[in-house]
Amino acid sequence: METAEIRRRFLSHFENAGHTVVPSAPLLFDDPNLLFVNAGMVPFKPYFLGQETPPFDRATSVQKCVRTLDIEEVGKTTRHGTFFQMNGNFSFGDYFKEGAIRHAWELITNSVDDGGLGFDPDKIWVTVLHTDTESRELWKKVAGLPDERIQNRGLLDNYWHMGVEGPGGPCSEIYVDRGPQYGPDGGPEADEDRFLEIWNLVFMQEEITNVTAKDKFDVVGPLPQQNIDTGMGLERVAYLLQGKENMYEIDEVYPVIAKAAELSGRAYGADHDDDVRFRVIADHVRSSLMLIGDGVTPGNESRGYVLRRLLRRAVRSMRLLGYDDPALPELLPVSLDRMKASYPELETDFARISQIAYAEEEAFRQTLGKGTQIFDVAAGETKKSGGTVLSGDQAFALHDTYGFPIDLTLEMAQEQGLSVDQEGFRALMAEQRARAKADAKAKKGVHADTTIYRQTIDAFGPTDWLAYTNLITESKVLALLSGGAQVPVLSEGQVGEVVLDRTGFYAESGGQNADAGMLRWDGGQAEVLDVQRPIRGLVVHQVRVQSGELTTGADLSAEVDHDWRLGARQAHSGTHVVHAALREVLGPTALQSGSYNRPGYLRLDFGWGGALDPEQLHQVEHVSNRALREDLQVSQHWMSLPEAKEFGALALFGETYGEQVRVIEIGGPWSRELCGGTHVERSSQIGTVVLTSDTSVGAGHRRVEAFVGIEGFEYLARERDLVSQLTEMLKAKPDDVPAKVNDLVSRLKATEKELEKIKSAQLQGAAGDIAAAAVDVDGVAFVGHRAEGVGGGDVRQLALDIRGRLQDRPAVVVVVGTAGDKPSAVVALNPQAVDRGLSAQQLITVVGQHIGGRGGGKADVAQGGGTDLGGIEPAFGAVREALRG
């Protein structure tokens, strides 16, 4: 049974049982504590935590998940994978233990002809919490399971909670006996390879606190309502029903392995190390496909770093299999072909997905080239010093600075007869991970505690948010917050947070900055500094009290700054216009991946492989302003997410959308996007769009910036004033300015070249005199020369010229230039000096010790720099002493 069919049967089974089918949330879910969605219940957390009222009593989903803690273990075992799908059914105060057990039992044991999964009932085992006698009795009653196939387990195995105070409860896990060839008899307690868990039923029934470990917490009491949260691993069920050994061999994953084997000429199943690489490739290619599909782009931080690592590990593994050509163009379409049955949007968006993936592979191939050069130098130095071990520091620098994989370092070191200090490398990696974890924990801590906000919304309900219709609202202060706690009053000069019963202030979201404005009440006023939604449904205003005291329960006027809002509307609508213009000029793959706008300014990130040339930028700007001149209607529509997708609305990757979404149209289908921001009523109200830059923000991604409205006109006015000044200075017409400036630049360059020739001739002329002044130090001709105002390559050239005039005996030349008020030194030795055992490398170290720097090079020429001009003469003296030694 194919994986997509298992998925379909699961959803159909629960839909027929009265569950609302909820589409998978994007992997980039709106949860500050998560990098990616990592469990099927994540999108339902607000309902379980009581932060929101669920719109249904029972639901079912197949949720896309990514777990990143075990990336290094992928392929080494048959259990670790980064991307997986979690089938789940959920009850919010509706059915409880008996219903969950009955639904699960019927699905897994009903025949295939009856819509079930067809597992043999005699092969099913379950575990329950040792104190949960109710679940044990229900399994006997509903499923007819005998006592010996119902095993008791402790809190570590069969109790669920989120790791923090909140809901918890016992769980019951369902296992399938794979047969004696996989291990000993005795149920899950004896062997979890033979008895494989496929489903976990969580009975959420009590509130817990003081959580210090999985099995250490205090129970406060029963929850107001009992909930069900279950999770069935789709890939596990698939490989059981398909008769495969592991998740890498199911129909959605194995075709990538088969293609990799075809490309590399290696056979899967013939060699353990190769098999690990094949599994890494299959897992990481599929995971990357899904992550890019949900809006992740490769980068050096956070989610982008995870994706970059997955893509590069896949490419690296192909290289280790002996395939050096671009691999992703061969592998990614294979993964798409298997995943599109369940996620058809991948096929629609594949042009963008593949463009990003292929650009990252190309960037990595270039990185490998640079890293190889660095490795060759490090390996050469190790051999030259008589060593056989590449240091952990060097291996870590290759990995951390140049993105060079340790496996590749090991492989190349072996080819050159070297080993690598792996313990040193691992120690440095562990230090880096510890720093990253500490940093992540610190950052997480900023957002993690939302207790005060949950308490506020529990007490008062969601904010009546009127930003689309009202700039001024008559509001009441429901709560004042400071230092993570409620306070009765905010005094003059104090900064705090204000929760109102209603507000017209726009809370920062979707790339749009928060509104500015004032809160005014009888006897005082406060400036609104920021507006946020710390949890869904609650709008919080950060304010500074300018006069008077603001108290809980006060009536006030919440007034959005009119000019600020106008500029914000122009910028947000301008973002939509520029996005549509980019797609019109560059094509449909130029899709927005992020944006930011504030009054008068916008920036937009989009998928594109290279810099836009001046003509393309001009066309985008022209199309944008043409849309403004045409005075296009800007309209909004509310509809369900499936209706919006069918309507052709574009969604911003990484955003989380509710059941009802808002579609903004500008000129009908020309620009049709899901958006929660504020907008103008007609495109002409944007005023103007002035593109100011196009820059790279990572492989396959560009960023354009622009001014709109009055800020756009002011930018053009500054440009006009600049041109006016140039025309006055050059005594030229505006159209002639570029040619005049070009002529001046050409003449300047020519003059600089002539000056360089003169300077070089002067230095060459001086070289003879300087060489003639050489002093003898124990049979070595020594020159120490301070070259005032000379720097860079001129110092080196002067040193070499002097050395060239001293060929009749061993010679050591030290030239230190003083350009830029910083010494730059070159030590040059002729062959006779080198034969005598002298070394420029050693002597540049002596110089560096006195001028506050260091350097390096070869035996005959070395160079370096420093910071102390006062150390030049002492450096010459130190070299003389070194020569005498």
Which residues does the annotation place in the binding site? 572, 576, 675, 679
Comparing C-alpha atoms, which of 36, 71, 592, 643 is closest to residue 290? 36
Burial 742-776 (b: 16+ CB within 10 A, else e): eeeeeeeeeeeeeeeeeeeeebeeebeebbeebee
**What letter would DSSP give residue 143?**
I
**Structure tokens given for 581:** 């213009």
Counting other chains too, the contacts that 842-851 makes at CB distance below 8 Å and 24 or more residues apart are 842/882, 843/812, 843/814, 843/879, 843/882, 846/875, 846/878, 846/879, 846/882, 847/814, 847/816, 847/875, 847/878, 847/879, 849/875, 849/878, 850/874, 850/875, 850/878, 851/816, 851/823, 851/825, 851/875
Rg of the chain, C-alpha, whole Å: 35
Cβ within 8 Å of residue 334, ≥6 positions away: 255, 256, 259, 285
Whether 32 contacts 448, CB under 8 Å: yes
Whether 177 contacts 195, CB under 8 Å: yes
Whether 167 contacts 134, CB under 8 Å: no
Give the torsion through C-alpha atoms of 380, 385, 387, 389, to 10 deg: -50
Whether 513 contacts 571, CB under 8 Å: no
Kind and range of the H or E run holding 211: strand 195-213
Residues placed in the known binding site for Zn(2+): 572, 576, 675, 679
- Alpha-carbon distance values, 671 to 563, 570, 636, 702 (Å): 25, 15, 12, 20
**How long is the chain?**
885
SS3 for 677-741 is CCCCCEHHHHCCEEEEEEEECCCCEEEEEEEEHHHHHHHHHHHHHHHHHHHHHHCCCHHHHHHHH
Whether 318 contacts 281, CB under 8 Å: yes
Whether 510 contacts 654, CB under 8 Å: no
Whether 288 contacts 357, CB under 8 Å: yes
Measured between alpha carbons, how far is 19 from 89 in angstroms, rounded to an integer? Answer: 8
691: number of Cβ within 10 Å: 21
**Structure tokens given for 167:** 């809901």
What are the phi and psi torsion angles at 813 (to 5°)? Answer: -115, 125
Burial class of 364 by CB neighbour count within 10 A (0 to 12, 13 to 18, 19+)? buried
Angle at 608 between CA 606 and CA 613, to 5 degrees: 110
**Structure tokens given for 698:** 């990572």
Measured between alpha carbons, how far is 480 from 462 in angstroms, rounded to an integer? Answer: 15
Whether 289 contacts 355, CB under 8 Å: no
Cβ within 8 Å of residue 101, ≥6 positions away: 135, 138, 139, 142, 143, 172, 201
Beta bridge partners of 554: none
**What letter would DSSP give residue 40?**
T
Comparing C-alpha atoms, which of 531, 535, 532 is closest to residue 450? 535
Strand 502-503 to 464-465 pairing: parallel
